[in-house]
Structures are given as structure tokens and as C-alpha cells.
Amino acid sequence: MVVEREMKFGKILAIANVLGERVKDKGEIGISPKHMERYGFKPATTFEHIHKDLMQHSYKFGEEEMMLFDQLTEVVASIDEEEFTDTPLQGRYLQAYGAKQHELNHAMGR
């Protein structure tokens, strides 16, 4: 179960990052370096901050952004409540993050 949790949190981070890159002003990054740094240590709390930041830009969501948001909520919903905690992540989440980020960028022509 630990590996699955790591993979899901990695996918969440990638989807949120791509979504953020699409809705933030030109030159802004998807997820702040501060959040990226903290995510591995406190994933649930940090995701809460990332989500709040994304929602401040939700008025910019078009069809593709809504599809990304739907993917994000689907992965979040797939994590058991007792696993959606601030238990630190192992480095495996970075593999899932990189793979999902690559997949999404490729699918969206980046």
C-alpha cells in the first residue's frame, strides 16, 4: 500500500503542476518552489495549500483545465482517508510525478 500511496501523491503533484502552469500568468510556475520542497514532508497539508492556490485561478479554467481538474480529483478520491495524511513520502513519488508530468505535457503538445 505504501508504494501505491507514493504513486498517487506523485500523480497529484504532476497534475496540479500542469494545471497551475496553464492558468497562472505567463512566467509564473505551476507550483511554487516552497510547496514543491514541502510536499514530500507534509503531502496532505501542502496539497491543501496547492489546491487553494489553484482555486484562486479557477475562473480561467477552460475545457482542458476542467479535464485536468477532474483527473486531479479522481486521484485524490482514490486515496484512502487513512492514507491521506502528512506521513512523509519516500522518493518513489518523484518517479510517479515525473512520469505523469511527461505524459500530460506530451498529451497537451508541450
Q: Mention every residue, 6+ apart, whose C-beta is less than 8 A from residue 39.
A: 9, 13, 46, 47, 50, 89
Question: Residue 99: its pLDDT value, please?
Answer: 97
Number of helices and strands in the chain (H, E): 5, 0
The reported pLDDT for the residue numbered 110 is 67
pTM of the model: 0.93
pLDDT tens across the length of the chain (110 residues) = 678 999 999 999 999 999 999 998 877 888 999 999 999 999 999 999 999 999 999 999 999 999 999 999 999 999 999 999 999 999 899 999 999 999 999 988 76
Residue 79: Cβ-neighbour burial (10 angstroms; 0-12, 13-18, 19+): middle
